[in-house]
Structure 1
């Protein structure tokens, strides 16, 4: 087995290559529309959402998110409604067209993953699944103290 440093570098390379490959192979991940795809996915997972929640989740500039949301609204994929809990913000939801588009995107991305997983020997798939579950739990830790952070 490799050293921790080698494993870390391998993991980072796999993630980098995976993200690049998904951008190249997914229907709306071209022509600089990656932010829109991330928005569609976030809203498909958990909507309605305040626009600020997208800024926080995606870690992107407010202006970028705002322009992308406006574009998705003009395309008929996202709707904005007043936030009853915070009158200064709006809640974003997928329209039926947006839900269709986001669902199609997710199917494309899942198909891509399936093709990649076909390269993993069947005997190793359960171990990979368990390792991914552990990483998922670490990245989704419910409180800030237990989340894994980069050192500054």
Structure 2
């Protein structure tokens, strides 16, 4: 049987997940977690800080520090919710939207290049397999964190 951990280790390295910065946009280096935060704020319409932190499986303290760094970079705005001022709503600034779009275009080009080395059947098989793995991982009692033993 293949060493599954090794397969994931190699894939992690090839995706650049171990790099300090995952991408660059608008002359800024963006970390992997910042990229995920920007993506979720862009994908969801005016999410709360808690919503995005939960989606990313991050504790609110760590998440809050990352949001502050994005605010300092003028990529994200945090405003109190009109109906409950204790809740903070996140939105992208114009610069943040530009960074989100740039990263999205870079990722699409990257995946298109990767998939260009596969035929349609192989591409569909990979995509279907990733969906299956994601769905199955969501059912795991250890979802979002590797098991600690």
TM-score interval, smaller chain: 0.7 to 0.9
Write 1 or 2 for the structure with the bigger share of strand. 2
Question: Structure 1 residues 7, 115: CA separation in 2 closer, same or farther (over 3 Å shift)?
Answer: farther
Per-residue deviation, 1:49: 1.4
Q: Which residue of 2 aligns with 1:59?
A: 57
Structure 1, unaligned runs of 5 or more:
142-146
Q: How does 1:2-81 map to 2 (within 5 A)?
A: 3=1, 6=2, 8-9=4-5, 11-20=7-16, 23=19, 26-27=23-24, 33-81=31-79
Structure 2, unaligned runs of 5 or more:
none
Distance 1:56 1:68 in 2: 14
Q: For the Cα contact (< 8 Å) 1:77–1:97, is it kept in 2?
A: yes
Give the TM-score of the pair, scaled to structure 2. Answer: 0.73
Q: Of residues 118, 127, 133 in structure 1, which corresponds to 2:116?
A: 118
Question: Structure 1 residues 42, 127: CA separation in 2 closer, same or farther (over 3 Å shift)?
Answer: same
| Coordinate RMSD, CA, aligned | 2.9
Farther-moved stretch of structure 1 (90-99 vs 120-129): 120-129
Q: Deviations over 1:37-80 (max 9, x none)?
A: 12111111113111122322223343332222122223222111
Question: Structure 1 residues 25, 76: CA separation in 2 closer, same or farther (over 3 Å shift)?
Answer: closer
Give the TM-score of the pair, scaled to structure 1. Answer: 0.72
